[in-house]
Amino acid sequence: MIALLSLMLGCPGADDTAIDTASDAPLECDHLSGHICTFAGYQGLAALGQEEIAANESYLYLPQDIGVAPTGDVYVLDWNNHRIRRIDGEGMVETIAGTGLLGDGPEGDARLASFNHPTSVSFDNDGNMLVAAWHNSRIDRIDLTTNLMSYVAGDGSRAFTGDGGDAKIAALDLPSSVVQADDGTIYISDSANMRIRSITTDGLIHTVAGDGVAGYLGDGGPALTAELNNSKGQAAAPSGRIAIGPEGQLYIADTLNQRIRVIDLGTGMIDTFAGNGTAGASGDGGPATEANVFSPTDVAVGLEGELYIADTENSCVRVVRSGTISTFAGICSEGDYTGDNGPATEARLNKPYGVDVDAEGNVFIADTYNHSVRAVWR
């Protein structure tokens, strides 16, 4: 927690001294099905990475999330460097947003904007990037054709205000995740407010889940009266990320409740999808609702509707298929940095905070405390 605590207090990015990596080149990915490799980041070391070189030769600093764009480019939230980086189809990396200095905007050229620990990235129905600017308490949009950034929600203050009004002048508190549904509605995990909020196509913001009280309550009933439990306060760790399912579900990593919750967006009802509420690593091969998870932070939906879970404090990624949970990557409860170009289930991760799936079913993992992005090939 020392590293995360220093981040919450707003420490600057790492030393930007160029480091010669030629004498110790990284392994090339073998792309074999079920194998894992380091896709970005170098040797598990934290630093400010170089530009326009191979992504697996460039440093990262506690990457929090990854998002695969419709174009196939992979975007990395280089969290403690306060930047967003793009990895193209040739595996080359460049910064597309963030100066690296702590700040808040302004709108305009994203490369000239400052962030304070941007935490989650996704893409809207037009292919623009949506960013949960965590300590800025804003949601941003970046047009990837012009690289212009604009504000979508949040006035920059940490509070809870604005329901029923313009999302841009509402207050959020540590928004940790943002996604857009097919109907154009944007959903925000307003994590320290213990709520899920939505922005309708008319730009108005509403609460769709959570009563603002940190706790566990409400399964089988209306999501609006349920309780969620996320980290809050100045030393908070990012928590409570969300994902849209293929049949109108909204999945929530209910981090401190040691559960994954699911909302039926058609009925507004909430239930538990995985986790029994007790921190642990057991349950593989059995019903997901009877398994233990430990501070799950992120969720992502696969090509066949399976749900991937960044089981952060277990240092592994779990997957739920047809109600049954298993380990997909890492050895739960054994954090380390090993296993490249071998089976993902024999590798070791170190507190992964993010997970995403590309259009081919490859799974990308923000291996946060290894300062890397790992890929598991379909």
Strand order from edge to edge, sheet including 363-367 = 342-343, 35-40, 372-376, 363-367, 354-357
- Cα separation, 141 vs 153, in Å, equals 9
Can you tell me whether residue 330 is helix, strand or coil? coil
Say if residues 314 and 293 touch (Cβ distance below 8 Å): yes
Q: How confident is the model at residue 152 (pLDDT cuts 50, 70, 90)?
A: very high
- Do 275-372 and 1-173 fall under one CATH topology? yes
In degrees rounded to 5, what are phi and psi of residue 310?
-80, 100
Q: Among the residues of the chain, which ranges form H helices?
A: 2-8
For 109, which DSSP code?
E
Instruction: For residues 232-253, give the mean pLDDT.
Output: 92
pLDDT (tens digit per residue) in 264-294 = 999 999 999 999 999 999 999 999 999 999 9
Match 């329901």 to its residue by tokens: 163
Boundaries of every domain in the chain? 1-173, 275-372
pTM assigned to the model: 0.94
- 52 pLDDT band, cuts 50/70/90, is very high
Q: pLDDT tens across 64-79, in order? A: 999 999 999 999 999 9
Query: Token pair 């946060």 is at which residue?
Result: 368
Query: Is the per-residue pLDDT at 54 higher than 80?
Result: yes
Architecture of 1-173 per CATH? Beta Barrel (2.40)
Quick: pLDDT tens for 320-368: 999 999 999 999 999 999 999 999 999 999 999 999 999 999 999 999 9
**Model pLDDT for residues 19-30, shown as the tens digit of each residue:** 333 446 788 899
Determine the pLDDT at residue 24.
67
Give the separation between CA 327 and CA 345, rounded to whole angstroms: 7
- pLDDT one-digit tens code per residue, 224-240: 999 999 988 767 789 99
- Do the beta carbons of residue 194 and residue 135 sit within 8 Å? no
CATH number of 275-372: 2.40.10.500
Q: Answer whether 94's CB lies under 8 Å from 52's CB.
A: yes
**pLDDT number for residue 232:** 84
